[in-house]
Amino acid sequence: MTFFDNPVIPGFSPDPSICRAGEDYYVATSSFEYVPGVPLWHSRDLVHWRLIGHALDRPGQLELTDEVPASAGVFAPTLRYHDGRFWMITTVVGETGTFLVTARDPAGPWSDPVPVGVPGIDPDLAWDEDGTCWCLYSHGGIRAVRIDPHTGKLLGEPVAVWSGTGLQYPEGPHLYRFGGWWYLLLSEGGTERGHALSVARARTLPGPFEPHPANPVLSHRSTDHPIQNTGHGDMVQAHDGTWWMVLLGTRPRGDTPLYHGLGRETFLAPVRWEDEWPVPGPLELRAQAPALTPHPWPAEPARDDFDAGTLAPCWVQLRRPDPEAVRLDERPGHLVLHARGDSLDRPGATFVGRRQRDPDCSARTLADVSEGGRGGLVARLDEAHHYQVETGGGTVRAVARIGPLSSVVAEHPVPAGPVTLRIDVTTTGVLPPTITSRTGPDEAVPAGLRAGGPDTLRLGYETPDGDFRVLAELDGRYLTTEVAGGFTGRVLGMYATGGSAAFDWFELRPA
């Protein structure tokens, strides 16, 4: 008997949708304001996943404006394999609405977008026996309509179908045909702690659907289970005949109400059939692996020396790529960023980052900032919640932006030239709920305060002999959804907010 560790895709990877082509499995996840859009993951055993690219990776497919706020943009995709082609349908909230793209190879290239004239979010695709394509979506409940997937044209009027048990926000519908039944899986209860998965079935479309008598079929709400916010699932039948589900969840930590900084992650759970009903679970951090031949991929490199001509798929930017501001050809072996905005507190800043995938980790980079310039390393949740360590003008500064407040927490002079900036994230020895500057001897913890956040972020720089000089230790709760709101997770990376900054290398390693 073999086991695996959940989540199978750690870090900010919500709303997973899965499909199978032969013995290969593919997952698409939401990307919101980050580009390229819709990460695509590949597996051959449902446990080990590698990032192979993005479905929306060029202007003309996706180019968000600065008016798109954090946690808007590209919402929940559905990924399907039908008639020898991959289909991905999604909604760009606040911009172009719902559209679909297709590809022969999920690694790309993907087609230009085909608009689909439905409102709402969370579109789904399913084909019946005669080849008719159905699109389901969430808009004041779950609705369904026949479409021509090649043109996006609606082939009838949308009809209301089953919308759950009455909990708030019925969403994320997925429709399956199996064993003489149509099964409709959806999420309800909101994507926070009340999240739940429910299922109904019908003999024909568009129904009527009968609900499972014990809905919700999976939820960890009102429990002390280490995986919370469980929902937005999608099922697949493996090539050995077994059934599995990918779904989102979180790993909250700290004091009540518990906090998660990595965002909603992708988990794997078995699905069993009882009385012709799919029943997912149990969902555990350590679980029995599918009986498929294990197929681990080479580990994603922790360090990037920027020697390639293009950025690796793990790198993301904000809202729209800017090839003039993000350069790999300007200084050999360096990533050069040119400031297009003077602050990370507003849209428009030049930023390149990677998702935080491990609760305990260390991010480091060697930064060389132009005269009069400013840039550095940041742990980002959104424009109003981020911690920075930056260099410029002969000084290294630790900066905290928490809601409406922004402050230089600590600073220290450094010699001219490149400097290694560093952010460590640790879940041990977390701080009480205060910002504690470590520019001098450790300060005493004020009486009556206790540690409550999920982790501590230590910001600073390394001296030439390799010592880590910590400028500030900051409470991680302020970079969590429970404090900041929204749908994303932390992204760690480099930025320039004045002049230009050249980065010789970047590494993100688990502690």
- Listed in sequence order, the DSSP H helices in 83-141 are none
For residues 248 and 14, what is the distance between their CA atoms, to the nearest angstrom? 5
Name the region of 107 (left: φ>0; alpha: ψ -120 to 50; beta: rest): alpha
417: exposed, middle or buried (Cβ count in 10 Å: 0-12, 13-18, 19+): exposed
Q: What angle do CA 217, 270, 163 make, to 5 degrees?
A: 30
7 DSSP 8-state letter: P
253 DSSP 8-state letter: B
Comparing C-alpha atoms, which of 74, 82, 87, 73 is closest to residue 38? 74
Residue 250 near residue 232 (C-beta atoms within 8 A): no
Catalytic positions, written as ranges: 15, 171
Q: How far apart are the first and last CA of the chain?
A: 29
**Does the N-terminal peptide bond of residue 123 adopt cis geometry, omega within 30 degrees of 0?**
no
Token couple for 267:
């988990």
Q: In what order do the strands lie in the sheet with 385-392?
A: 350-355, 491-498, 374-382, 385-392, 395-402, 405-413
Q: If DSSP states are collapsed to H, E and C, what string results for 304-372?
A: ECCCCCCCCCCCEEECCCCCCCEECCCCCCCEEEECCCCCCCCCCCEEEEEECCCCCEEEEEEEEECCC
Chain-centre distance of CA 319, in angstroms? 15
- What lies within 8 Å, CB to CB, of 265 at 6+ separation is 7, 9, 10, 11, 12, 13, 14, 248, 249, 250, 251, 489
Amino acid 440 reads: G
484 DSSP 8-state letter: H
